[in-house]
Chains A and B, each alone.
Chain A
């Protein structure tokens, strides 16, 4: 029994498999790490283009770093236990301890500490994102329906005419009655145009089922729920053309419910607003 070579085949098998398991766990971990490194170059968050998005990316990096370290450490440890404590001889005996108050208190407090910090960071950013919009913000109404988006601008008078989606038709888009006060100059479009560095307040609504207004480059998403108007705001920081997607399953055409967001300079924006195609 003293010589490793003399062990029963069963014990030898466990000794072999312990090494194999450790190698497998480490290999999977290494593959995950390598894949993630490669992913940061090819399949990562698209370039950010809003102030809120930048703050969200910073939060992501902090939390992502913490969980990456924990992921690697736990897996290294898991592989190590398999290797180190595998059965290698029939005479081997496992330890019997099963309590260690100090150790247990230690890891509980450490975990709780990290989570308290994350809660404070995360909570304050969330409230900041959902705070009231700055006074100079422009307002655009976003209306979702199966399977497209419409954007409603108040026009030069700054008054957003009331929409009535039950009267939405080709002749009166969004059911806006042109005779009503402030309605004559309202603009309804299929593309969203915004002004760079100018905060925008969105009023999001849906005509039929739930949709979700998703702008990946702004790290922004908000459900459009029929029967309610949701107010959110953000500030675009880079001119360019960005995709808008529907992120909530809304029916067979869900996957084609796309639109475009153009962030422009004030001059470009005014020119677009004034162009006959937009009016």
Chain B
């Protein structure tokens, strides 16, 4: 537990002493809570990643026998061959875990907690106790979710979207009994955690900024996390309500989502008034903003990392803030693009198409701004920078296919095919993951006081980027050829038989990608033990977190909180002798006008 030793050493220097439990387990310190969120998310990522590997095993070589897995997982692989119900529970749990229990928790819970107080010059979050509760709901929710694998019937098979009526009655299939109930309860618990967190972030950013830290001086990572918190606060309650309504349908005899006259598993629904589309509207009202809950923090992190490693101010800062806000606002108006073929009125399809294509404008502006930030810079290729560049590539690749999917007429063809799987694995899954790695490589020294190994970090990137393209790019072709998602095997369909080579290639690339990301785990373990000690500001960065020690002491700053005199992007300021000017340097020092004749 090198993490703990490292923290302990710094904590010694702080005046007041707390017990081990209070400091590292039930901690009120935002930094510890942030790290707890990250570590727990990584454990869940390992689970979610392994589930994906099992899926790829089936899809690459459908119906093959894997005797070893048959021995390890006799329920899922009777006689060594994966069973269909187990495949669908992998689909469901992989999506659920990766979206809610890895990306959301790591990016907002992890980076949000760690970065916000440090970047705004606060000593902690506004509500530390609420913060601790927010974290502790996360492992509880995770345990409830994973328990679904071990109950009779197994984990739910209805996908991460849990469309009713498949998810609304135990008669609809295996896993739709206790497994689905646990899924819903777990999600409800996690949503409460997100809400606690969001309230905290919003209050902290609005109330606890240090002297001189106006909103328009905030680093873009904090801006992104702040807007994301607002987005979470407004959208997650809708899913919470939907989850509770679905629990009522399942256990209290209500029929919010069950239509009269449906006959499921031999049982006729008699009570009227329910509509399966209501679930979809409620689900996607969160589900779409959720995409941006993942990608906005990644965008903020990437803006930060690119500017720092280009040694150049971020291009178009006010527009960056504006586009984050615009994307967040528009994300509430596009949910219907998931429902073009659902039976929703076609006129609504036109409206949602329009809002969907509008949201491409701020997204494109952000991409141009990153390129303009790189243009004319003095680029350093740290692992953080490599992953930030990877983010831009993946985000663009996935974003562009959004223009095809946003066309309802074409969407009719590729909806629920691998084309969609390819699209979102680029634009939000891989891109957000790369953004997260950019952030981890960048702030790891601040978190743990040790440098990550650069060479291993570069290897991680060099393997991960091609493997990510190798995994998800060919999925476009499978989708264009008409391969449905969430099918256990495409062998039923003659027209898909030409895809077996593509599917096997995707699987092999996915395995390489998994190994590549494992390099990060190796790097973390090695660096915590043996890594070079980090100085306060190893990247010559400007924002406030780099003005305190690595890791920062309890309370973040010494006697006095820092005072801010400038924005977070004074890189390569003309007239300044160094190529960065921290936010704490008074305006008269290193200001172009003041130093012209001097120095």
* Residues of chain A whose beta carbon lies under 8 Å from any beta carbon of chain B: 13-14, 17-18, 20-21, 24-25, 27-28, 31-32, 35-36, 39, 42-46, 52-53, 55-56, 59-60, 63-64, 66-67, 70-71, 74-75, 77-78, 81-82, 85-87, 92-100, 103-104, 107-108, 111-112, 115, 118-119, 122-123, 125-127, 129-130, 145-146, 164-166, 168, 206-210, 212, 214, 216, 219-223, 225-228, 230, 243, 245-256, 258
Chain A residues contacting B481 (CB-CB under 8 Å) are 43-46
Q: For the complex, what is the distance from the CA of A5 to the CA of B403, rounded to whole Å?
A: 48
Tell me, rounded to whole Å, the shortest Cβ–Cβ distance linking A46 to chain B: 6
Cα distance A260–B477 when bound, in Å? 23
Inter-chain CA distance A251–B372, complex, in Å, is: 49
Q: Is the CB of B261 within 8 A of A60?
A: no
Give Cα distance in the complex from A250 to B164, angstroms.
10
- Chain B residues within an 8 Å CB radius of A247: 415-417, 484
Q: Are B173 and A252 in contact (CB under 8 A)?
A: yes
Pick 28 A–B contacts, CB within 8 A, sort by A: A28-B466, A39-B474, A39-B476, A43-B474, A43-B477, A46-B482, A60-B404, A81-B371, A86-B379, A94-B312, A95-B572, A96-B572, A98-B569, A104-B368, A108-B365, A122-B357, A122-B410, A125-B409, A126-B353, A206-B262, A208-B172, A208-B265, A210-B166, A221-B416, A225-B277, A226-B261, A245-B493, A252-B157
Given known contacts A28-B465, A226-B261, A254-B486, what 9 new A-B pairs fall within 8 Å (CB)?
Answer: A31-B469, A39-B480, A87-B379, A94-B377, A210-B166, A223-B343, A225-B276, A225-B277, A255-B84
B214 in the interface, Cβ–Cβ < 8 Å?
no
Interface residue B268 (Cβ < 8 Å from any Cβ of A): yes
**How close is B381's CB to chain A, nearest CB, in angstroms?**
4
Q: Which residues of B contact A103 (CB under 8 A)?
A: 372
What B residues does A168 contact at CB under 8 A? 263
Given contacts A70-B400, A208-B172, A223-B343, contact A115 B495 (CB under 8 A): no
**Interface check B376, CB cutoff 8 A:** yes
Contact of B413 among A70, A100, A206, A220 (CB under 8 A): A220
- State in angstroms the CA–CA spacing of A28 and B467 once bound together: 10
B371 touches A74 (CB 8 A): yes
Q: Please tell me if B319 contacts chain A, counting CB pairs below 8 Å.
A: yes
| Residues on the B chain within 8 Å of A21, using CB | 381, 386, 389
Q: Which residue of B lies closest to A166 (CB)?
A: B268
Asked whether, in the complex, the Cβ of B361 is within 8 Å of the Cβ of A111, the reply is yes
The chain A residue with its CB closest to the CB of B92 is A249
The contact string, 1 if C-beta is below 8 Å from chain A, for chain B 469-493, is 1000110111011101011111011
Q: Is the CB of B462 within 8 A of A24?
A: yes
Interface pair B341/A221, CB less than 8 Å apart: yes
Contact A255 B350, CB 8 Å, known A95-B376, A98-B317: no
Q: Are B571 and A94 in contact (CB under 8 A)?
A: yes
Chain B neighbourhood of A75, CB < 8 A: 393, 396
Closest Cβ–Cβ distance, residue B506 to chain A (whole Å): 12
Known: A28-B469, A126-B349, A209-B172. A248 touches B163 (CB 8 A): yes
Q: Is B584 an interface residue (CB 8 A)?
A: no
Chain B residues whose C-beta falls within 8 Å of the C-beta of A59 in the assembled complex: 407, 409-410
In the complex, how many angstroms separate the beta carbon of B175 from the nearest chain A beta carbon? 9
Chain B residues with CB below 8 A from A248, complex form? 163, 416
Contact of B60 with A by CB under 8 A: no
Q: In the complex the two chains form, what is the Cα distance from A35 to B472 in whole Å?
A: 12
- Tell me, yes or no, whether B401 is within 8 Å of chain A by CB: yes
Would B260 and A227 count as touching, CB distance under 8 A?
Answer: yes
A227 contacts B276, C-beta separation under 8 Å: yes
When A98-B313, A107-B368, A243-B495 are in contact, do A112 and B407 touch as well, CB less than 8 Å?
no
Inter-chain contact B474/A35, CB cutoff 8 Å: yes
Which B residues are CB-close (under 8 A) to A126? 346, 349-350, 353, 407-409
A28-B393, A96-B313, A248-B163 known; A108-B343 Cβ under 8 A = no
A255 B489 Cβ-Cβ under 8 A: yes
B461–chain A nearest beta-carbon distance, Å = 9
> Would you call A17 and B268 a contact (CB within 8 A)?
no
Contact of A78 among B371, B466, B493 (CB under 8 A): B371
Question: Which one of B310, B354, B396, B477 contacts A39 once the chains associate, using CB atoms below 8 Å?
Answer: B477
B contact residues vs A (CB 8 Å cutoff): 84-85, 88, 91, 157-159, 163, 165-166, 172-174, 259-265, 268, 274-277, 310-317, 319, 341-343, 346-347, 349-350, 353-354, 357-358, 360-361, 364-365, 367-368, 371-381, 386, 389, 392-393, 396-397, 400-401, 403-404, 406-410, 412-413, 415-417, 458, 462, 465-466, 469, 473-474, 476-478, 480-482, 484, 486-490, 492-495, 498-499, 502, 569, 571-574, 579
Determine if A214 and B469 form an interchain contact, defined as CB atoms under 8 angstroms apart: no
- CB–CB A17/B458 < 8 A: yes
Q: A115 and B262: CB pair below 8 A?
A: no
Report A-chain residues with C-beta under 8 Å of the C-beta of B389: 21, 25, 78, 82
Closest beta carbon of chain B to A78's beta carbon, Å: 6
CB distance from B390 to the nearest CB of A (A): 9
Q: Is A122's CB under 8 angstroms from B407's CB?
A: yes
- Is there an interface contact between B493 and A243, defined as CB atoms closer than 8 Å? yes
The reply to whether B165 and A254 contact each other, CB–CB distance below 8 Å, is no
Name the residue on B nearest A93 (C-beta).
B572
Residue ID in chain B nearest A10 by CB atoms: B380
A92 near B378 (CB under 8 angstroms)? yes
Q: How far is the CA of A255 from the CA of B409 in the complex (A)?
A: 24
Taking a contact as CB atoms closer than 8 A, the residue among A43, A55, A87 that contacts B478 in the complex is A43
Interface centre among A36, A82, A92, A208 (most CB of B within 10 A): A208
**Which residues of B sit under 8 angstroms from A206, Cβ to Cβ?**
262
Q: How many Å from the CB of B490 to the closest CB on chain A? A: 8
CB pair B393 A94 closer than 8 Å: no
**Is the CB–CB distance between B374 and A85 below 8 Å?**
yes
* B381–A129 CB distance below 8 A: no
Q: Kindly list chain B residues whose C-beta atoms are within 8 Å of the C-beta of A39.
A: 474, 476-477, 480
Q: In the bound complex, how far is the Cα of B493 from the Cα of A255, in angstroms?
A: 9
- CB B306 to nearest CB in A, in angstroms, measures 10
Residues of A within 8 A of B265 (CB): 208
Q: Are A122 and B353 in contact (CB under 8 A)?
A: yes
User: Quick check: A98 and B263 within 8 Å, CB to CB?
Assistant: no
Q: How far is the CA of A94 from the CA of B315 in the complex (A)?
A: 13
- What residues of B have a CB within 8 angstroms of the CB of A108 in the complex? 361, 365
Find chain B residues with CB under 8 A from A246 CB. 484
In the complex, A249 Cα to B158 Cα: how many Å? 7
Residue of A nearest to B83 (CB): A252
Complex-state Cα separation, A143 to B173, whole angstroms: 20
